[in-house]
């Protein structure tokens, strides 16, 4: 069975500093990996994904993530945090290949950017 771990329930970072939100996964075969963001009282919004190719993936709002197969990680990063980045972030995984439908989410990490 596939699983996703987000080891930090909350991450606090000062505005302008770099941020990292951690994610590790367990899945058979080559994974497809995703990051989503959820603002209060809203649904989840897609940020970026890794399917294949370059291990560094760039997404919306200046976010990027690095796929590390040996460490089974897919950490979310941003060089300079904004207060508006404060939200709940979810990592998700699905097994790669045809017929891979089930998207499994981590528990989420609350990011607080302090002015």
Among the residue ranges 14-22, 69-77, 78-86, 106-114, the one whose residues contact other proteins (CB under 8 A): 106-114
Q: Of the two residues 40 and 115, which places its CB atom closer to other proteins in the complex?
A: 40
Q: CA 114 to CA 104: how far, in whole Å?
A: 30
100 within 8 A of 32, measured Cβ to Cβ: yes
54 burial via Cβ count (<10 Å: 0-12, 13-18, 19+)? exposed
- In the region spanning residues 45 to 104, those forming contacts with other proteins, defined by CB under 8 A, are 45-46, 49, 51, 90, 94, 96, 98-104
- Summarize as ranges the residues that interact with other proteins (CB under 8 A): 32, 34, 36, 42-46, 49, 51, 90, 94, 96, 98-108
């Amino acid at each position: 069975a596939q699983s996703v771990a987000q080891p930090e329930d909350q991450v606090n970072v000062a505005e302008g500093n770099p941020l990292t939100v951690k994610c590790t996964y367990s899945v058979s075969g080559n994974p497809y990996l995703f990051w989503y963001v959820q603002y209060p009282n809203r649904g989840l919004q897609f940020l970026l994904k890794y399917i294949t190719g370059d291990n560094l993936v760039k997404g919306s709002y200046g976010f990027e993530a690095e796929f590390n197969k040996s460490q089974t990680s897919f950490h979310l990063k941003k060089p300079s945090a904004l207060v508006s980045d404060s939200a709940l972030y979810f990592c998700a995984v699905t097994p790669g290949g045809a017929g891979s439908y089930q998207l499994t989410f981590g528990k989420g990490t609350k990011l607080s950017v302090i002015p």
